[in-house]
Amino acid sequence: MTSEQSGAPRLSRRGLLAAFAATAVTAAPAGAGVFGVLRGGGDVRRIRMYSGRTGESIDMIYWVDGKYIKPALQEISYFMRDWRENKAVQIDARTVDIMAASHALLGVDEPYLLLSGYRTPKTNAMLRSRSSGVARNSYHIRGQAADLRLKGRSVNQMARAASTCAAGGVGTYYGSNFVHMDCGPQRHWTG
């Protein structure tokens, strides 16, 4: 059984909330009282990515004042589609939360490079036939995972930020220079 095949997905709400609390402080501009103003003015969550495969970019606020914005999540889901088959599923918002919190903790303006989001079973089987690092029952098939890269941060830095969220799986792939993030059970591995 691979690390991605274990039980039902669980998310540590406390870990994720702690990560977002930390990002509010790190992401806030310097200045007296800014954190208090932001807290009083409402909380937002934002994701920024681009895809080298499709040439598309996304910069999306998808959560405001405790509520997900459905059209924004739909756009994120389409962006994270299986580009090989041009098919999309609803991406689990918990995965987007982990990605966004990790990105904010890293303190970079650079968007993520999305290497892989949703995968159809056919695409996953094809990738599995080429690499032992692809799980048969991958969280990618469920719309609950993303493989991401940043030029300005190392695999270690990205993995530490994702691990700080204490909310899902974090895989480090040094040879391919990316980090896998998912909303499954908390676990870590090196591919």
In a domain, 132, yes or no: yes
Which residues are paired to 182 by β-bridges?
145
CATH of the domain at 81: 3.30.1380.10
Q: What is the DSSP string of 140-160?
A: TTTT-EEEEE-TTS-HHHHHH
* Domain membership flag for residue 31: no
Q: Is residue 151 part of a domain?
A: yes
pLDDT confidence bin for 136, thresholds 50/70/90: confident
Q: What is the pLDDT of residue 14?
A: 52
Tell me which H or E stretch contains 70. helix 70-79
Residue 35 is assigned to a structural domain of this protein? no
Q: How many domains does the chain have?
A: 1
Q: Which two tokens stand for residue 152?
A: 């300005």
Provide the pLDDT confidence category of residue 15 given band limits of 50, 70 and 90.
low
35 Cβ contact list (under 8 Å, min separation 6): 24, 25, 28
- Supply the range of the domain harboring residue 92: 12-24+41-190
Residues in the chain: 191
Residue 70 CB neighbours (<10 A): 11
Is residue 52 in some structural domain?
yes
- Would residue 6 count as lying in a domain? no
pTM of the model as a whole: 0.78
Q: What is the mean pLDDT of the chain?
A: 83
pLDDT digits (tens, 9 = 90+) for 144-176: 999 999 999 999 999 999 999 888 999 999 999
